[in-house]
Amino acid sequence: MSTDVTGAERRRVPRVAVSPDQGIECTFEVRTRIRLLDISLSGALLASEARLPVGTRAHLHAGVGSAPFAPEVQVQRVADRGSRESSAGLGAVFVGMDEKSRRSLEAFLRKASE
């Protein structure tokens, strides 16, 4: 129980401990700014102040060219970007995207390679 400096209970409702074998699954959504360093049809290299572990899935919201782009990504690798950079390099693969995002990405890559 949580008490203040006088020893008085501060909670109005008691808490119950939860064990992993009870099957309760939670997600914790965190928003952070990232910078897109490079991109391909299969994934992207991102610079992020948040160091996300390999396997982390996230929703990326960006614009490629003038079109919206919103794939689901999964972090495949994490690399330090050097002592001068406070951000980590996150190698991410696209694990899902809608058709509009796919078309936007294909058009952007086609135009960028001309």
Span 39-92, pLDDT tens digits: 999 999 999 888 889 999 999 998 887 888 999 999 999 987 665 566 789 999
Q: What is the pTM of this model?
A: 0.71
Q: State the Cα–Cα distance between residues 93 and 3, nearest whole angstrom.
A: 46
Going from the C-alpha of 77 to that of each of 22, 45, 83, 107, 111, the distances in angstroms are: 31, 10, 18, 27, 28
Q: How many residues does the chain have?
A: 114
Going from the C-alpha of 60 to that of each of 53, 84, 100, 111, 112, the distances in angstroms are: 16, 26, 14, 21, 20
For the domain made up of 33-112, the CATH class stated in words is mainly beta
